Amino acid sequence: MEGFVNTVTLGYSNLGRLARFAFVALFVAFGLVAVTAQAQTPATGGYVLGVDDAIDVAVFGSPEASVKTRIKFDGTIVMPMIGALQAAGQTNVSLAALIKSKLIAGNFYKDPIVNVEILGYSSRVASVAGKVGAPGLYPLDKPYRVLDLLLKAGWVQGSQVVYLRRASDGKEIKLDTNELVRGAVGKDPFVEAGDTIYVPDPEFVYLQGQVARPGPVAITPGMTLREALAAAGGVTAMGSDKKVSLSRGDAKEVDAKLDMPVQNKDVFNFKEKLF
């Protein structure tokens, strides 16, 4: 009987250890998930000042203590009364609080009101280039995804693809504008300082011959010849959608089918039907 009790006690003891082990493993797993999620979402504390950013420091009621300046290469600014002060790495709010504390500590003011405005962004910007409404440099004053900056830049002009070039490692990421608009999971990354968003020229196929509106047709992802023909208004009364030839690059002209996928710079010729 005593042996049975010891066996049962030992069993419960092992179960307890297993339960504790399982709990610790689960806790660690949740911790890793939380760390991963944190790493994927940028901090939202505001724009972090850096070298060459221009700022306006205003001490209300005291123009002699205020200054408009640019952050020097060593990350400092020079303030009246205070002298050199580290500004790089601060937000405008934290820098204002730091300046206020220095003015109080130096017995210059009892309770000054200090405001810092950013006049020019130079240290943390991203470039938007190519076929957009307003290409240029855009400050990363908060976390931005690719879609956010494209909308600020006036959206894309015709292209169905966008390239995100990372400043950190030179990696180029190809993105689909339709997936950006739909908010597809994992298809709209955050933009980092120094990154470039490039929108190339739109891709076209060319339809000629017996079509309602001959000329270029912008390619959409997965477009077939049937869809390109529909975009061109269909065939004319004299035309046939079964008598179509394709010229692709330097290759020999071949017959084309409506269900075939199109490629950039394809030329399709719709011929007259036989009566």
Instruction: Report the C-alpha dihedral over residues 212, 217, 223, 224, rounded to 10 degrees.
Output: 40
Tokens, residue 252: 């020999």
Higher local confidence (pLDDT), 194 or 34: 194
DSSP 169: T
Q: For residue 219, what pLDDT band results from cuts at 50, 70 and 90?
A: confident
Domains of the chain as residue ranges with CATH: 54-120 (3.30.1950.10), 125-199 (3.10.560.10), 204-272 (3.10.560.10)
**Bridge partners of residue 245, in order along the sequence:** 255, 269
- pLDDT mean across residues, the chain: 86
What is the pTM assigned to this prediction?
0.63
Burial class (CB in 10 A: 0-12, 13-18, 19+), 70: middle
Spatial contact of 145 and 128, defined as CB atoms under 8 Å apart: no
**Least confident segment among 10-24, 38-52, 101-115, 241-255:** 10-24
CB atoms near residue 261 (< 10 Å): 12
Residue 273: the pLDDT is 87
Average pLDDT over every residue of 81-94:
95
- Please report which confidence band the pLDDT of residue 265 belongs to, taking 50, 70 and 90 as the band edges: very high
Contact 136, 125 (CB under 8 A): no
Q: Where are the alpha helices (DSSP H) in 177-264?
A: 177-182, 225-231
What tokens does 114 get? 């200090």
Cα-based distances in Å from 267 to 54, 61, 133, 247, 271: 53, 71, 29, 5, 13
Tens-digit pLDDT profile for residues 181-201? 999 889 999 999 999 999 999
